[in-house]
Amino acid sequence: MNTNQSSLFRVVYLMFGARRQEIITVLGFACLFLQTATAAAPDWWATQNVFAVGAVTDDYAVANVGQLKSMAKKASLEMQSKFAVIGGAGAAIDSMINAWESAPAFGTTRDDYAALTVGQLKQVSAKFYDRISAQAGEPSAVYPWTGSLVATDDYALVNVGQLKAVFAFDIVLADSDQDGLLDVLEMQFFGNLGQIATGDFDGDGLSNLAEMLASTRPDQHNTDEDGDGLTNTQELALGTSPFLKDTDGDGVDDNVEITQGTNPTDRLDSVFALTGLRVSTPLEN
């Protein structure tokens, strides 16, 4: 602690006596947020229309629960889009949002106009920091309130500026080595960041990126995931699914359609397709 900080706390002690700890706690939390309050607004605020165009917000006004929910829902929508290849916002956030949008339990009331507390803000926003850390392959999330020298009062009220500061995180998929492969997928498939998008780790003629996007492990190219007689590599090259025997759902297995010369990805292209009738294979005698 430097001389100026020491003097400030000494003055607080002399002025407020027994209430010094409570006041120091509030000051500590306020100073923590001031460190990020000047950060630039992330792109997703504009994409998700977090704030009305031309609106002027009072950052010192007390935030309410409804504003927290609105901010969280917008962040969730952005994650559903940006993190689509890894499951969107994730189960924890999806469950939270669904609970908000479902009817409350009998006898329970919700007041979205109630003043927002520090504890509520931390509980909700932590889920987003956890998700961002997980997709980047980090072992644990670093929250904006981590590292404070004083304990925060979870029952203290939050203002709009503090709500904005906590949600001023970027929502982007990490590709730390900029090789065209997302870090989370590289670690999942290879266990390291040593591969590139255009590479062919297993030498099957399909790029690493093509195999990842098809959810097929590059080291499983010669297996027949769906048991239809075609290897994963063959199916990826044909555009069919390694996990479905009948990709287009027309009642004819992919390998049968390939033998017959029809398109296994087009349910209307089958020798057994009859307009207006359910598609099925002939009965065997």
pLDDT tens string 156-181: 999 999 999 999 999 988 887 888 88
CA–CA distance, 111 with 71 (Å, rounded to integer): 16
DSSP 104: P
| Amino acid 91: pLDDT | 93
Confidence of residue 56 (pLDDT cuts 50, 70, 90): confident
pTM above 0.85, yes or no: no
Q: Quick check: 283 pLDDT over 60?
A: no
Higher pLDDT, 70 or 109: 70
DSSP 200: -
Tokens 């994650």 locate to: 79
CA–CA distance, 217 with 59 (Å, rounded to integer): 48
175, two tokens: 């590709």
| Mean pLDDT of the 219-228 span | 75
